[in-house]
Chains A and B, each alone.
Chain A
Amino acid sequence: MKLINVYFLIFTFLYAPFSIRAGEEQRKADSLYRTGAFYEASVEYERCYYFADSPVLRCQAILGKANCLKQLGEYGKAAARLAQAPLQGLEDTLAFQLQYQMAFCQYLAADFQTANGLLADLRLRYVQPELLVQTEFLQFLLWNELRQYDSAELTAVRYVKLRYTDPFHANGILRILEQHYDQQNLPHLKNANSAVWMSRIVPGLGQTWLGHPGEGAVNFVLNAASLGLGIFGVVSGYPITGYFLGTGFLQKFYFGGINRTKYLSQKVNYQRAKRFNDKSRAMILNL
Chain B
Amino acid sequence: MSNNTSNHSRIPWTQVIGFVLSIALTFLAVWFGLYMDLAYKLIVAIVFVLALLQAAIQLFMFMHVTEGEGKWQVGKMLSAGFIAIVIVAGSVWVMNSMH
Whether chain B is bound by chain A comes out as no
Q: Which residues of A does B touch, CB under 8 Å?
A: none
Q: Which residues of B does A touch, CB under 8 Å?
A: none
